[in-house]
Structure 1
Amino acid sequence: MTRRVDGWLLFSALFLLFLGWLMVTSASMEVAGSRYGNPFFFSIRHGIYVLMGLGLGLFIVLIPMRWWYDNSFVLLLMAFLLLLAVLVPGIGREINGSSRWISLGIVNLQPSELAKLFMMVYLAGYLVRRLDEVRNRWSGFIKPLAVMVFMGLLLIMEPDYGATVVILGSMLGMLFLSGVGMMRFILLLVATVSMAGMIAMMQPYRMKRLTTYFDPWSAQFDSGYQLTQALIAFGRGGWDGLGLGNSVQKLFYLPEAHTDFVFAILAEELGLIGALATLFIYGLLVFRMVHIARKAGETGLLFHCYTCFGLALVISAQVFINIGVNTGLLPTKGLTLPFMSYGGSSLLVSCVMVAITLRVDQETRLTLKERERLKEEKRAEYARKRY
C-alpha cells in the first residue's frame, strides 16, 4: 500500500516543534516570573501557538494546491496590504523600536511572516506561467524583482531587514533553480549585494552592528552585548551541556533568550552534541522538502515543485541566519528560529509551510498512482486486442 505522508518530514517538524516548546519554557521561566509573576507565562502562550499550529496544519493539508495557484496573486496583494497596514499609526504595534506587528487582541500578527509564504507561492505561480520568458528575456526576469523591491521597501520601513534578506535570498534561489541565464543571475547577485551594502550604510545602528560583528568584545557592554553573552552560553555548554533548565545566561544576562537567541540557550543546556543533533534534524527537514520538490518536478507538477523549493529555501535561510547570528558567524539581526523561537506568527507560518509540503507530497503520490493505473489499463486493453 502506498504511503500517504512523508514520515521523516512529519517527524522532523514535530520533533523541532516540541523541542522548541521545551526550550522556550526553559529559557523564559526567570523572565516570565519577574515580569508577570508566572514562570510559565511564555510557555503557556507558546503551547497554545503549538496547538494552533498543529490544527492549522491539519486544515492546510486539506487545501488542494490548485487553490494556492489560482489565488497566488490575491495572496500577494494581501501581503502588501498587511505590510502597509503595519506602518499606519494606531494599527501597527511598535516593540523595541520596530513597527512589525498588528495587534489582534490577545495575539500579535507579524505581516512579514505571511509575506515570506505568500511571496513564494506567487513566484511559484509566476514561474509556471512565464517560465520561457524568465529564462530567455530580461522582462520576465525583472518583473518579479520589481515586486520584491516594493515589498523590500515596506519591510525596511518597519524596519525588518532580516525578513528582507530571507525573501530576497529565497527569490534568487528560485530564479536560479528555474534555469535563468547565468550571466543575468550573476549581474543580479552583484546588484543585490551592492544594494544591501548601501542599505546597511544608510542607518548608523546597522553600521554599528557590522563593525561590532568583527570584534564584539571591544563593545562587550554596548552593541556587542547580545553576541558576547551568546558566545559565553556556547562556551559554558561544552560537549554535553549544563543540563536542561540549568542555563546561567538566561538569568537576565542574554536578552531575548526565548526568542532570537533560543539556540544559544539550547547549546548551553544540551551542549555541542544537542546543538549538532538539532542541526541534523533541521537538515533532515529541508532535505525531505527538497526531495518532495524534486519528485513533484519529475512528475510534471511544476507549481508544486517551485512552491516546495521556495518554502525549503525560506526555512533553510532563516535557520542559517538565526544560528549564524547566535554563533557570531553573521552580524546580529533579529530573526526567529523556525519552529523553536517564541513567536506565534513565525510558528504558525512554519507549520503552514510543512503542511503545504505534505499536501504536495500527497498530490504527487496520487498523480503517480493514477498514471500507473492508466498504464495498467492500457496494457490490459492492448492484451485484449492482441488475443
Structure 2
Amino acid sequence: MTTSVLSKLDNIKLPQWLSAEQGQSSATFDRTYLLLAISMYMIGLIMVASSSMPVAERLFNDPFHFVERHFIYICLSLVVAVITMSIPMSLWQKHSGHLLLLGTLLLVVVLVVGRTVNGSTRWIVVGPITLQAAEPAKLFFFCYLSAYLVRRRDEVMENVKGFAKPLVVFGVLGGLLLMQPDLGTIIVMFVTTFGLLFLAGAKLWQFAGVSGVGISLLSALAYFSPYRWARVTGFLDPWEDPFGSGYQLTQSLMAYGRGEIFGQGLGNSIQKLEYLPEAHTDFVMAVVAEELGFVGISVILMLSMFLVLKALLLGRAALQKEKYFEGFFAYAIGIWISFQAAVNVGASAGVVPTKGLTMPLLSYGGSSMLIMTMAVFILMRIDHELRLQSIQATTKKKVKHNKTKKSSSMNKTPVKLKTKDDKEGEQYDWI
C-alpha cells in the first residue's frame, strides 16, 4: 500500500509556473514573478488609496497625496525591475563586498544627516528623494552573505570560525541599526542570516548555540529599553491600557473584528478615519481585514506564499545545477520576504509585538517597494539564467548527437544484399 501511495505521489506534477524544473519550457523568462508583483502593486495601490485619504486630507489638504506618490513609486519600481533584469548574477557576486560597504556607508550617513521622525533617524533626504537606509542595507548584506557562503562553505560547515565571520559583519550592521533605532530590521536580518547558514550546512550545535545567544541579546535589548518593553507588554495585553501603550493594537484588532469573513466593503473602514495610526504603512493589513475581511487577507497571503515558495524552489534548482551563489541568494530573498510579511501581518493581528516593518510590495513606502521589487526581479534574473543554461545544454547535446550520428553513418561500409531476382543484379543499402 505504501509503495502504491509513493508511486502516485511521484506521478504528481507541479504546475509549470510553480515547477522547479527550469528546462521543461523553451521560454527564457518566468512571467509569474511579474504577474505576482503587479497583482500586489495593484492591490497595494487600491488599499493605500482607501486607507490614506483621511490623513492626507488633514496633513496636505489633498486626499490623493499618498496615492499619487505611491503610484510614482510603482512606476519607478518597474524601471528598477528592467534595470535589475539586465544585470548578470555574476556582477552581483563579483561586487558583493562593494555593495556591503555601500550599505554600511548608508547606515553611517543616515546617523549623521538623516531625518528624524517619531524618535527614529532612518531616512536620508536628497531633494525630492527620501531613502530609508536600512532597506538597501538588507539586500546588500544578503548578497554578501550568499557570496561568502560560496567562498567559505566548507569552512562554515567544519568549524566555528567560518560560522562566526558573517555574524561579526551582522553585528556591525546591527549596531548601526540600533543607533537609529530600528530593531525590526535587525530581527529580519537575524532570522534570514541564521536560516541561510542553516541551509548552507552549518552544524546544528553551532546553530543552536549562537541562536540562543542572539535571542538572549535581542530579549535584553527589549527589556532594558523602556519604549520597547512597553511594546512587548502592550502586545501581551493591549486592553490593559487601550488609550496608551496598547492603543494602536486595540484599534487594529477592532478593524480585524469588524471585517469578519467578507469585510465591510471597499472604502467602508472606520478605523482608517485617523483612529488607527499608520493605517497606510505598517497597519495597512488591518484596513484590508476591515474592508475585505478574511477573504481579502487570505488572497494577499496566498500571493505572498506563492512568491516565497517559488523563491525557495528556485534556490533548490540553482543548487542542483551547481549555481551556488544564485541558490543561496534566492533562499535569502525567500526567507526575507516570508518573515517580513509574517511579522507585518502578525503585528497588526496581535500575534507578535509591533514592529515598523512594511508589507512587501503592498504597504506605502518608496524605499521598501523599490528594494523589494529589486529582490523579486533578482529571482526572475536567476530563473532566466538557469533557463538559458538548460537551453544551451540541450542544444549542445543535440548538436553533439547529430555529429556523432553523421560520423558513424559515414564510417559504415556497404553490405551486399541479395534481392529476390539475383539474375537482374544486386542491390546495396546502408545498414
Asked if these proteins are the same fold (TM beyond 0.5), I'd say yes
Match of 2:52 in 1: 28
Match of 1:49 in 2: 73
In 1, the alpha carbon distance for the partners of 2:403 and 2:213 equals 58
Percent of residue pairs bearing the same amino acid type: 42
Given candidates 318, 334, 351, the residue that maps to 2:340 is 318
Given candidates 211, 215, 225, the residue that maps to 1:193 is 215
> How far off its partner does 1:185 sit?
0.7
In 2, the alpha carbon distance for the partners of 1:381 and 1:180 equals 46
Deviations 1:68-91 (A, max 9, x none): 011000000000000011111xx1
Deviations 1:201-226 (A, max 9, x none): 12111111111111100010001000
**Unaligned stretches of 5+ in structure 1?**
none
> How far off its partner does 1:386 sit?
3.2
Match of 1:291 in 2: 313
Does 2:90 correspond to 1:66? Answer: yes
Match of 2:401 in 1: 379
Given candidates 150, 160, 167, the residue that maps to 2:182 is 160
> How far off its partner does 1:191 sit?
1.0
Q: Report the AA paired with residue 216 of structure 2.
A: S
Match of 2:17 in 1: none
Q: Which has the higher contact order (CA 8 A, sep 6+)?
A: 1
Contact 1:263 1:326 (8 Å CA) reproduced: yes
**What is the SS of the residue equivalent to 2:111?**
coil
In 1, the alpha carbon distance for the partners of 2:316 and 2:27 equals 18
Contact 1:230 1:264 (8 Å CA) reproduced: yes
> How far off its partner does 1:382 sit?
2.9
Contact 2:33 2:377 (8 Å CA) reproduced: no
Match of 1:121 in 2: 143
Q: Higher helix fraction: Structure 1 or Structure 2?
A: 1
In 2, the alpha carbon distance for the partners of 1:57 and 1:188 equals 36
Deviations 1:136-195 (A, max 9, x none): 121111000000001001001100000000011101011001011111111111111111
**Unaligned stretches of 5+ in structure 2?**
1-24, 410-431
Does 2:118 correspond to 1:96? Answer: yes
Q: Report the AA paired with residue 345 of structure 1.
A: S
Given candidates 276, 281, 290, the residue that maps to 1:254 is 276
**What is the SS of the residue equivalent to 2:279?**
coil
**What is the SS of the residue equivalent to 1:99?**
strand
Given candidates 195, 200, 208, the residue that maps to 1:173 is 195
In 2, the alpha carbon distance for the partners of 1:20 and 1:273 equals 16
Contact 1:292 1:308 (8 Å CA) reproduced: yes
Does 2:301 correspond to 1:269? Answer: no
> How far off its partner does 1:385 sit?
3.9
Match of 1:14 in 2: 38
Contact 1:116 1:314 (8 Å CA) reproduced: no
In 1, the alpha carbon distance for the partners of 2:255 and 2:143 equals 38
In 2, the alpha carbon distance for the partners of 1:18 and 1:273 equals 17
**What is the SS of the residue equivalent to 1:94?**
strand
In 2, the alpha carbon distance for the partners of 1:363 and 1:137 equals 33
Deviations 1:292-335 (A, max 9, x none): 22111111111111111111111111101111101000011111
Match of 1:203 in 2: 225
Paired residues, what number?
385
Given candidates 353, 361, 365, the residue that maps to 1:343 is 365
RMSD between aligned residues: 1.0
In 1, the alpha carbon distance for the partners of 2:313 and 2:396 equals 25
Q: Report the AA paired with residue 208 of structure 1.
A: A
TM-score (norm 2): 0.88
In 2, the alpha carbon distance for the partners of 1:371 and 1:199 equals 52
Contact 1:201 1:207 (8 Å CA) reproduced: yes
Q: Report the AA paired with residue 271 of structure 1.
A: G
In 1, the alpha carbon distance for the partners of 2:102 and 2:34 equals 29
In 1, the alpha carbon distance for the partners of 2:346 and 2:26 equals 39
Match of 2:109 in 1: 85
Contact 2:124 2:131 (8 Å CA) reproduced: yes
Q: How does 1:298-313 map to 2 (within 5 A)?
A: 298-313=320-335
Contact 2:93 2:143 (8 Å CA) reproduced: yes
Match of 1:358 in 2: 380
Match of 2:22 in 1: none
